[in-house]
Chains A and B, each alone.
Chain A
Amino acid sequence: MKLYAYCLAEGLDTPPNTPGISGAPIKLIQVEDISILVSDAEMDLVPVTPENALAHAAVVRSILDQTTPLPFRFGTLVTAEQLQNYIAAQKPALKSKLAHVRGCVEMNVKIIQQSTGSEDIDEVIPRGPGTAFLVEKRREILGDERRASDAAELSTFLHQSLAGLIKDEQIILRPAERLVLAAAYLVERLTIQAYREKIAKTIGDRPELHFLVSGPWPPYSFANIELEFKTHFGVT
């Protein structure tokens, strides 16, 4: 029998009533002072369906009012022994991560641009195939540079706007794509309202941008997955 693992947390006494994957009841496993929410899983593969993904999210979220969990990624199937070994091997890192996110939630900002911006670089009328190629190449280079610069400016703008309200941040810039910036901020629960007010002002300051703002979330973005690969297998 495998276990489907949802999250780790501190200070849980009882499992939540929220049903898990396939409606399975949630069980609480205690390894020393770390609590793990799991459910029995009679499967070797977890299909990616809206129902399963939402069930995973609902279980993790169900304890967010009590504590700040450290979520596992969707699809984590383990034996009880593997889970025990994982906790034992990773305990210092997991305790450090739990301490880092304690009292906090994740808040997200995504910025979506109307176009990728390559079409409005200055127009030059090509006079032959060679010239057309060079003009196109020039447009491409100028576009890349400008998009990278614009994306970096957005990141700095957000960081400065939220100064003093964020404990940590994870920023992904994709200058060439419509979803140009995806930011995850670790915010103390006590400052959520101030954060929201600041975000509202920030949105108002940049009416030309499309914002997608969400939260609070369990701190999915602040569980470092690279650490596990390095620690277990010595590879990056």
Chain B
Amino acid sequence: MSTFDQVITTDEWENTDISLLETLDHVLNRGLVIAGEITISVADIDLIFIGLNVLLSSVETAQEVLRKRHEIL
């Protein structure tokens, strides 16, 4: 199964952009977390897909995880 052939959009966006966005949404925003062990850097991020809030919410979620981690430790 390819990452990029499974997206259908009824809008005008390019499917490759949406596929990348969808992949980022899943990878950054969801999945099992071993508490305290997420160490990601959001610096130098140059792939923000402005206009949708999916990726922004992903970054917010990452920051929330980091904030919880600091509160816990």
| Chain A contacts to B: CB under 8 angstroms | 5, 8, 44-50, 53-54, 56-58, 61, 64-65, 70-78, 82-83, 86, 108, 110, 112, 174, 177-179, 182, 203, 209-218, 220-221, 223, 225, 228-229, 232-233, 235
Tell me the number of A-to-B contacts counted with CB atoms below 8 Å. 152
Expressed in whole angstroms, the minimum distance between the Cβ of A154 and any Cβ of chain B is: 14
**Given A112-B52, A214-B6, A57:B27 Cβ within 8 A:** yes
Q: Given the complex of chains A and B, what is the CA–CA distance between A64 and B7 in angstroms?
A: 17
Query: A8 contacts which chain B residues (CB < 8 A)?
Result: 32
Show 30 residue pairs from A and B whose CB-CB distance is below 8 angstroms, ordered by the A residue: A45-B41, A46-B39, A47-B41, A48-B45, A50-B20, A50-B47, A53-B27, A54-B20, A61-B3, A65-B1, A73-B27, A74-B28, A75-B38, A76-B37, A82-B37, A179-B53, A179-B54, A211-B10, A212-B7, A212-B22, A213-B8, A214-B7, A214-B18, A220-B27, A220-B30, A225-B32, A225-B33, A228-B33, A232-B35, A233-B72
Name the interface residues of B1-41: CB closer than 8 Å to any CB of A: 1, 3, 6-11, 18-20, 22-24, 26-41
A212 touches B9 (CB 8 A): yes
Expressed in whole angstroms, the minimum distance between the Cβ of B25 and any Cβ of chain A is: 8
| Chain B contacts to A: CB under 8 angstroms | 1, 3, 6-11, 18-20, 22-24, 26-45, 47, 52-54, 59, 62, 65, 68, 72
A216 touches B6 (CB 8 A): yes
Expressed in whole angstroms, the minimum distance between the Cβ of A152 and any Cβ of chain B is: 19
A74 touches B27 (CB 8 A): yes
Top 7 nearest A-B pairs (CB, nearest first) are A75-B40, A73-B31, A220-B30, A71-B31, A220-B26, A223-B32, A225-B33
Expressed in whole angstroms, the minimum distance between the Cβ of A140 and any Cβ of chain B is: 20
B34 touches A76 (CB 8 A): yes
Q: Given the complex of chains A and B, what is the CA–CA distance between A47 and B44 in angstroms?
A: 8
B43 touches A73 (CB 8 A): no
A211 touches B38 (CB 8 A): no
B33 touches A72 (CB 8 A): yes
Expressed in whole angstroms, the minimum distance between the Cβ of B16 and any Cβ of chain A is: 12
Give 20 A-B pairs besides A178-B52, A179-B52, A212-B11 with Cβ atoms closer than 8 angstroms: A8-B32, A45-B39, A48-B62, A56-B27, A57-B27, A72-B32, A73-B27, A73-B28, A73-B30, A76-B32, A76-B37, A78-B34, A82-B37, A108-B22, A210-B11, A212-B9, A213-B8, A216-B1, A223-B31, A225-B30
